[in-house]
Amino acid sequence: MGIHPIPYNGRKENHFSGVPTMWRTFQFMIPVLLTSAGLLAADKPAPKEIARYVADLDSDDPKLRDAAEKALVEAGLPAIESVGKAALAGKAVQRFRAIRVLGKLVRSDDGATAAAAAKALKAVVAGDDATSAKQAKEELSYFDRLETMHQLAQAFEVFDTSKDLKGERVTLIAKPLHRFQDTQRDNLDGTLWAYGQRGRPKAVIAVFPFSGRGEGEFIWYSDVVSLSDGPIRASKVDGSEELNWSPKNSGEEFKPFPDAEPPAGDADKRLMQMHALVKRLEARSFTEAGTKPYDLSLWPKLLHRYADQDAEILDGGVFIIVHDTNPEVIVLVEAQRKSGAATWKYALARHGAAPLHVELDGKEVWGGEMVDFLSGGANPYWVLRRLVAGQME
């Protein structure tokens, strides 16, 4: 995502050099492999330990308070009931710290933990202490914005029209693939979602707010990007007759990774291969003509994994290249079984309007100048202003 390119900030952030690729991949996978084997399974804290940590939130020792806060965040769901009680009825410092713990837990990737923390914060908002209620409301805004962003993603209905003009609606994946920010562009929160429960996603959509005219007011925007081999459409977005989108395809092609080993027969080994391959990519974006480029970074996590026997996709994954944590380029890596043997291929899709350039093993393989990103229509990439207003709380 990115409507306005920003100037080079003077920092050279190359996330692709230094450590040999295979070791970095193995190092990244160690926690995954050990966890799956049960070797890193952390014991849940006992109720007595949680009670001690909650009490330590009111300690005279600031280091002890910090350690207790960290331990409660790591404890997660089992700690929420006790932390919630402290947020409601504890001493002043303890209440403040407890609410801050709940604010971190409401950001958890685990849905049950986030929901329980949100419930505890709502109880504080409804409580008698005005100072605590204000703090809890601020922490809760992160959770509430996610609900709004989910609704806006659902309201953008995508149809696969490869078989007929009416098309078949493509289901939105229930959870966001990624939550991001871009502080240099004053974008403090956003989410990336995908359409398509089976195989490669047909499209992705980002939902994010920008500040409006009044204090606290904001305007919602969305980037949408086609990843489909065939035509898709979205009509009358947000009820507007003028907001339509009908790309014939993604406009991108899959290219082979040079000198890549054949896809492994084991799924875990293929995952390691995907991470190693995608780290061969480097990306940058240019601002105005004649200015220096700034480097973009590969986000280290695989956002979505898929396969599709009918499309001859043995394995595949969605990665992103980011500015801050904001997606600028969507990277698809697939083990495709075309004409017999499987091979590793990649495709790149624009997720920012500024000039973008991607290199593979130091050689430019993809990129282009500023694009028309506001018109929708047949463009594979579109940024639209959503017809929704509200308060950025």
At 225-263, the pLDDT tens digits run: 999 999 999 999 999 999 999 999 999 999 999 999 999
Q: How confident is the model at residue 291 (pLDDT cuts 50, 70, 90)?
A: low
The residue that leads in pLDDT, 28 or 298, is 298
Q: What is the mean pLDDT of residues 59-84?
A: 95
Q: What is the mean pLDDT of residues 214-228?
A: 83
pLDDT at 221 (0 to 100): 92
Q: How far apart are CA 81 and CA 45, in angstroms?
A: 13
Q: How confident is the model at residue 213 (pLDDT cuts 50, 70, 90)?
A: low
pLDDT at 131 (0 to 100): 95
Q: How far apart are CA 100 and CA 117, in angstroms?
A: 11
Which of 133-137, 162-166, 300-304, 328-332 shows the lowest mean pLDDT across its residues? Answer: 162-166
Helices (H), the chain: 21-36, 47-56, 62-75, 80-89, 92-105, 111-125, 130-155, 267-278
Q: How confident is the model at residue 288 (pLDDT cuts 50, 70, 90)?
A: low
The residue that leads in pLDDT, 44 or 365, is 365
- pLDDT of 39 over the 70 cut: no
At 94-120, the pLDDT tens digits run: 999 999 999 999 988 888 999 999 999
Q: How confident is the model at residue 22 (pLDDT cuts 50, 70, 90)?
A: very low
At 301-336, the pLDDT tens digits run: 999 999 999 999 999 999 999 999 999 999 999 999
pLDDT at 252 (0 to 100): 94
Q: How confident is the model at residue 16 (pLDDT cuts 50, 70, 90)?
A: very low
Closest CA to 223 of 374, 358, 4, 370: 374
- pLDDT of 10 over the 60 cut: no
Which of 190-199, 200-209, 352-361 shows the lowest mean pLDDT across its residues? Answer: 352-361
- Average predicted confidence (pLDDT) for the chain: 85
pLDDT at 40 (0 to 100): 41
pLDDT at 184 (0 to 100): 80
Question: How far is the CA of 62 from the CAs of 80, 85, 97, 114, 368, in angstroms?
Answer: 22, 21, 11, 27, 52
Spell out a b/e string for 135-154, using b for 16 or more CB atoms within 10 Å of the CB, else e: bbbebbbbbebbeebbebbe
Residue percentage of the chain with pLDDT more than 90:
67
Residue with tokens 């009931």: 81
Q: What is the mean pLDDT of residues 219-227?
A: 94
Longest dimension (CA), the chain: 70
The pTM for the full model equals 0.78
74 close to 38: Cβ distance less than 8 angstroms: no
